[in-house]
Amino acid sequence: MRRINSIFKAIFVVVLSLLLLSSCGKKTMVRAPVKIRPPAVSNLKCHVRVNFVELEWQIPNWPEGKDLGRKIAAFEIWRATITPSERNCPGCPKKFSYIGMVDLSYPYPAHMIGKKILWKDLGVRIGNQYFYRLITVDNEGNESLISNTTVANVSHPPVAPKITEAVATHDGINLVWEDPEKRVDGENDLRPRRYVLYRKTKGKEWKPALARPIEEKSFIDRKVEPGKTYEYKVRT
């Protein structure tokens, strides 16, 4: 009986020791470190050209001290298409699809000017409405939140204005043009107009003759040299 009691006492001491050992130390939950997302683009905008839509945005800056040695590596481009028959449902959800990527190590066919990026969407159709978004990707594959959304309405381009008068005067060359205010499909186009005038001399390339687009249909080019011949064209 004494032997049995001794065995029970030994077992009790061992169990008590294990309980005491298991209760030692500080308990805590182990959590994986939270990854800081790369910065999202906030200034995405688009320009509707004759046969394409051009996207423009600036490479965003990392918040101070948040890059952790990472770099922005690429931008994913996402697009939703709304056809004319779908425009009667403005509240319907838009389905965005991946259409391309700009890799900063080799951005072609995108064009970079400093931190500004220009990218052309050549797969557009007249009559459709397009919504664009970007996702920033860093060199570790982490993705940003979605950028702002920009919208492009692709319609028939307007008929080009025609220069009707180009007269050399003491002040320069006086230019006048007329605008038929029609689209290339023959329909009237009464949208507000702004004009860009281009100029060139023999053997040279076309260059803008205006610092910025104007609303007037006339212009005096004072930056001319006597004896030189100039050619002009105007676009809207």
What pLDDT does residue 143 have?
96
Interacting residues of 167 by C-beta distance below 8 A, sequence separation 6+:
173, 174
For position 89, what pLDDT does the model report? 80
The model scores a pTM over 0.75 = no
Looking at the structure, do residues 49 and 119 belong to the same domain, yes or no?
Answer: yes
Instruction: Tell me: do 83 and 147 sit in the same domain.
Output: yes
User: To 5 degrees, how large is the angle CA 217–CA 220–CA 226?
Assistant: 145
Count of the separate structural domains present in the chain: 2
Q: What percent helix, strand, coil does the chain show, rounded to 5?
A: 10, 40, 50
Residue 27 belongs to some domain of the structure: no
| pLDDT at site 120 | 97
Query: Which residues form the domain of 96?
Result: 45-153
Report the run of H or E that residue 135 belongs to, with start and end: strand 129-138
Separation CA 201–CA 221 (nearest Å): 13
Q: For position 17, what pLDDT does the model report?
A: 46
> Which tens digit of pLDDT belongs to each residue from 54-77?
999 999 999 888 788 899 999 999
pLDDT of residue 85: 86
Q: Measure the CA–CA gap between 216 and 161, rounded to whole angstroms.
A: 12
**Ranges of the chain with pLDDT below 70:** 1-34
| 101 domain residue, yes or no | yes
**Is residue 178 a part of any domain in this protein?**
yes
Q: What is residue 109's predicted lDDT score, i.e. its pLDDT? A: 94
Q: Please report, for the domain that includes residue 60, its CATH number.
A: 2.60.40.10
Per-residue pLDDT reduced to its tens digit, 208-235: 998 888 999 999 999 999 889 999 999 8
